[in-house]
Amino acid sequence: MRKSIFARRRPLLRRGLDSYLVLPLFAGLLLLAIWLVTVREINNERAHAQEAVSDSLRELMGTYEAQVSRSLDGIDQTLRVVKYAVERKGALGAFAELERVGLLPPGVVFNVSIVDRQGQVVASRPRRSSMSVAEQPYFKVHQERDSGATFVSPVSRDVANNDWHVHFTRRLDDALGNFAGIVIVETDPAYFTSSYERSRLGELGMLALVGSDGVVRALRTGDKLSFGQRLHARQFGLLDGVARYSDMRELHGVALNVVVGLAQQEAMSAFERQRKEKLWQAGVASAVLVLGSTLLCLWAWQGARHRTHVRRAQETYAAATAASMDAFFVLRAVRDSAGAISDFAFFDTNSRAEKMIGHSKEELRGMTLCGLSPQARSSAMFAGMVRVMQLGGVHEQEWENNLPQLKARWLHQQMVAVEGGVVAIVRDITERKLAEERMRHLAHHDTLTGLPNRSRINARLDQAIAQAHRHNSALLVAFIDLDGFKLVNDSLGHNAGDELLKVVAERMGDCLRAGDVVGRFGGDEFVLLLNESHGVEAAPVLERVREAVLESILLCDQEVQVSCSIGVAVYPDDGADAETLLMHADTAMYRAKDLGKNNCQFYTREMNATIERKLHMLEGLRNAVDEGQFQLVYQPKVDLRTGHVFGVEALVRWLHPEYGLLGPDRFIPLAEESGIIFALGEWVLQTACRQNQLWQEAGLSPLRISVNVSPRQFEEQRLVQRVAQALEESGLAPEWLELEVTEGVIMRDLQQAVAKMGELRAMGISLSIDDFGTGYSSLSALKSFPISTLKIDKSFVRDLGSNAGDEAIASSIIGLAHQLRLRVIAEGVETEEQRAFLRHNGCDEMQGYLFSRPLAPEQLRQLLLRQSPPDVARRQLAAAAA
Ligand SMILES: Nc1nc2c(ncn2[C@@H]2O[C@H](COP(=O)(O)O[C@H]3[C@@H](O)[C@H](n4cnc5c(=O)[nH]c(N)nc54)O[C@@H]3COP(=O)(O)O)[C@@H](O)[C@H]2O)c(=O)[nH]1
């Protein structure tokens, strides 16, 4: 069941009043009231009952007293009548007289006797035999005392028949007033209790006739009759173990008391019944009350406990949410007349939410979501909340915020349905989203240029192929490789290289049409995807790109110029899938390189033949060293001042079994690429050293032989070791060996290069920088090179005499070299004009076709002999003839 969180906290007093603590108190008071009323009623009932008992007693007493008084009056009457008759007629005639007038009492109840002064019964009714009562106390009382009153004796046995009787006696006097005997009226004691009525006295009621002497004349309790016992008035309250209400009254004119008693048990039985009934009712009411209040109390206690939990949970929630990094919104659903959710009203928020929304909690409490932001109704947030209210449970979603009131771009929202509304936990995930975007971008883009990377280009190419297929249009895939980038990178450093790539990337981008794509494939390789839909040709874009790349760039305060080689494959003619198109574009690009760079080539099937040839060459190259297919030619180096050959440059040739004699440009890059350069370079080094040593041993003037060292060769760890080995094996002195390295090779890792050059220099070997001017050596770096010669690249020499720029460069290099105390050699000197310029500008040495092409060893030997002094030449010729 959903809990409502919209209930506000109730006031303390109300919470206290209906709390489980008040209930027992209230129940206790009610219980007390019940019992007070019950006890009071019982007491009242008791009082009424006791009053009724008193009334009954009084009534009984009245009745009993009247009865006994009547009986006693009758007895006394009889005594007086008999006395009168005796005193008038004598004892014997008295009864006859009385019987005649009917004044004698019935003999069944009373015995009447006349006793003479000796105590002898002289007459009796009913008749009995004579006997003496002289010893009886009642006779003696009258004999001894002259009293006209009736004496009532305690119950005693009759002398005649042994029956128990109460004796009432009166004194008889003679004419002189002397004692003349007594008159006795005796009766059964039961006579005085015969009026016992069960209906009034109950089973245990009491009637008694007691003498003033305390001796009981007759006592009836229920069916039991007794007499003779002496009892005090208060003892009648508890006889035979039965408690009774009793009353005693003295009879007038006779020393007797009448006593009536009602058994408390019987007299109060109605009351007791009622009392029990009331107690039972009160007991039941109490039990119901206790049970009810206990249950109620338990319920209230549980309720209070639950409220406490809820309160604590709310307090915890409030504390937790207040400190939370997430924004909490408690929103109550607002429904329209049809019951549909039309809005959400703010109910509660935390401080993070206040910040996010720019309103305080108090301000928000009076607002609705759509009231705050009308766009909210169409937002993902609103839809999510409605959904969670309909489906329940917990829902999460991320959405891009379009509500200007929320100060976040991306939000993560977790919603929980509660009774009547939702709790929304909202987190600003803008930073995470941006980071993800960045990550996504990085995964698909090149960090340096920001262009799509290889994986992205592949994906875009797949899309572009699909689109071209759909539209039945052509797609151009251009593979672009920068020419000379390596040189810039190696010479000016990686930062300059990076800058160059960024500029080139930007320029390429500027050349594209809408819908074209440029990406960086890695290193200095770029790929263009150009659509040729609707007959619009893409070739002009390629030309624009080529020209844009060719524009010079200022890097490290130097103007640098690079070009690019472009290879193009066209969908669907050159391939139907991305891989094939890229492969063919790459092939075309290599063809562009082969054709002198800075041009664009469209893929043709023949290009594959070139590639195949290249592979074939590579295969042959692997065995060429072992099979002795290489040979060295030597180009003389001439002193410009003397015109004498002072050294030679060893240049390698490959006598290919199929293709004939191949120049180094055809196989050196392949050897570099494949690593065969290590073995080939070692062979060149050893062969050159051996040849030079042979020439020297043949008596020719010693020459310094120059050997070209390629970049990978120079970087190899074992270079110094290999050089030392070549010298050792050939026996050539180190001063007759020179190694030529290019600027780019040195600049690639300047520190290590300088260290390695230092090692070689220390061995006594000379070092020169080849193709100087085409790299980007800094002057400060140049100072630290342990070199002896700079070689001016033939590209600057070619136009000497006609190109002022080249002339300026050449003369600058010469001046610079001399300032650094280096010798300068110019290569590719083909004309007298060039030689004249060089000589005139102080160039020290030259090599070129003007003087000699590269020569086979024997040809060179002949040339050297020609310039040797005559005696040396003669010796040489003789040696040759021998
Ligand atoms: N790592 C190695 N590189 C080598 C080796 N042998 C040669 N090479 C490098 O190959 C490049 C081409 O060399 P090559 O075809 O031999 O051309 C050289 C000369 O023939 C040429 N040259 C000399 N004089 C002239 C001239 O007057 N005009 C003209 N057009 N060309 C001329 O120049 C090349 C020598 O250049 P350089 O080395 O810069 O002095 C070349 O770069 C060689 O370095 C090798 O064994 N290992």
Tens digit of each residue's pLDDT (9 = 90 or more) over 680-698? 999 999 999 999 999 999 9
Q: Is 708 in the pocket of ligand 1 (CB under 6 A)?
A: yes
Q: Compute the distance from residue 672 Cα to the ligand 1 centre, in Å.
A: 16
Q: Is 664 in the pocket of ligand 1 (CB under 6 A)?
A: yes
Q: What is the pLDDT of residue 1?
A: 45
How far apart are the C-alpha atoms of 745 and 755, rounded to whole Å?
13
Q: Could you tell which of 678, 691, 709, 827 is best to mutate to test the pocket of ligand 1, judged by most ligand atoms within 8 Å of the CB?
A: 827
Beta pairing partners, 530? 476
Q: Compute the distance from residue 625 Cα to the ligand 1 centre, in Å.
A: 20
Low-confidence ranges of the chain (pLDDT < 50): 1-2
Locate the ligand 1 atom nearest the alpha carbon of residue 771 and give its number: 39
Amino acid at 365: R
Q: Is 738 in the pocket of ligand 1 (CB under 6 A)?
A: no
CA nearest to 85, candidates 118, 121, 123: 123
How far apart are the C-alpha atoms of 124 and 112, rounded to whole Å?
6
- What pLDDT digit, counting tens, does each position of 860-878 carry? 999 988 877 666 556 655 6
CA nearest to 585, candidates 479, 741, 707: 479
How far apart are the C-alpha atoms of 655 and 264, rounded to whole Å?
156
451, 505 in Cβ contact below 8 A?
yes
Q: 803 is written with which tokens?
A: 């190109």
Beta pairing partners, 564? 482
Q: 724 is written with which tokens?
A: 């030392």
Q: Is 661 in the pocket of ligand 1 (CB under 6 A)?
A: no
Structural domains of the chain, ranges and CATH numbers in brackets = 192-267 (3.30.450.20), 324-433 (3.30.450.20), 444-623 (3.30.70.270), 625-876 (3.20.20.450)
Q: Is 684 in the pocket of ligand 1 (CB under 6 A)?
A: yes
Q: Compute the distance from residue 675 Cα to the ligand 1 centre, in Å.
A: 20
Region of 643 (left: φ > 0; alpha: ψ -120 to 50; beta: rest) is left
Predicted model pTM: 0.52
Q: Is 710 in the pocket of ligand 1 (CB under 6 A)?
A: yes
CA nearest to 355, candidates 428, 268, 292: 428
Q: Could you tell which of 634, 635, 648, 651 is best to mutate to test the pocket of ligand 1, judged by most ligand atoms within 8 Å of the CB?
A: 651
Laid out side by side, the sheet with 563-571 consists of 517-522, 525-532, 474-483, 563-571, 600-602
Q: Is 652 in the pocket of ligand 1 (CB under 6 A)?
A: yes
Q: Is 635 in the pocket of ligand 1 (CB under 6 A)?
A: yes
Q: Compute the distance from residue 752 Cα to the ligand 1 centre, in Å.
A: 26
Locate the ligand 1 atom nearest the alpha carbon of residue 830 and give its number: 27
Q: Is 651 in the pocket of ligand 1 (CB under 6 A)?
A: yes
Q: 845 is written with which tokens?
A: 């040495």
Q: Could you tell which of 676, 708, 742, 797 is best to mutate to test the pocket of ligand 1, judged by most ligand atoms within 8 Å of the CB?
A: 708
- Burial of 283-298, coded b for 16+ CB within 10 Å and e otherwise, reads eebbeebbeebeebbe
Q: Compute the distance from residue 477 Cα to the ligand 1 centre, in Å.
A: 36
Nearest residue by C-alpha to atom 18 in ligand 1: 651
How far apart are the C-alpha atoms of 480 and 146, rounded to whole Å?
176
How far apart are the C-alpha atoms of 244 and 189, rounded to whole Å?
22
Helix (H, G, I), strand (E, B) or coil at 740: strand
Q: 774 is written with which tokens?
A: 């085409």
Through-space distance between the first and last CA atoms of the chain, rounded to whole angstroms: 120
Nearest residue by C-alpha to atom 16 in ligand 1: 651
Q: Is 649 in the pocket of ligand 1 (CB under 6 A)?
A: yes
Rounded alpha-carbon distances, angstroms, from residue 423 to 153, 199, 289, 459, 687: 109, 85, 43, 43, 87
Q: 612 is written with which tokens?
A: 């195949």
Residue whose entry in the numeric block shows the structure tokens 């004699």: 661
Q: What is the pLDDT of residue 5?
A: 58
Q: Is 789 in the pocket of ligand 1 (CB under 6 A)?
A: no
Q: Is 849 in the pocket of ligand 1 (CB under 6 A)?
A: yes
Q: Is 848 in the pocket of ligand 1 (CB under 6 A)?
A: yes
Exposed (0-12), middle (13-18) or buried (19+): which is 12, by Cβ within 10 Å? Answer: exposed
How far apart are the C-alpha atoms of 91 and 735, rounded to whole Å?
207
CA nearest to 239, candidates 258, 219, 269: 219
134, 120 in Cβ contact below 8 A?
yes
Helix (H, G, I), strand (E, B) or coil at 400: strand
Give the CA angle between residues 594, 595, 599 to the nearest 5°: 115
Q: What is the pLDDT of residue 18?
A: 58
Q: What is the pLDDT of residue 870?
A: 62
Interface ipTM:
0.94
Q: What is the pLDDT of residue 15?
A: 56
Q: Compute the distance from residue 605 Cα to the ligand 1 centre, in Å.
A: 32
pLDDT mean across residues, the chain: 88
Q: Is 687 in the pocket of ligand 1 (CB under 6 A)?
A: no
How far apart are the C-alpha atoms of 660 and 670, rounded to whole Å?
17
Locate the ligand 1 atom nearest the alpha carbon of residue 663 and give its number: 15
Nearest residue by C-alpha to atom 33 in ligand 1: 828
DSSP states of 773-785 as a string?
Answer: TSS---HHHHHH-
Helices (H), 698-829: 711-715, 719-730, 743-748, 750-762, 779-784, 794-797, 804-819
Q: What is the pLDDT of residue 176?
A: 84
How far apart are the C-alpha atoms of 571 and 467, rounded to whole Å?
11
Residue whose entry in the numeric block shows the structure tokens 């760890």: 717
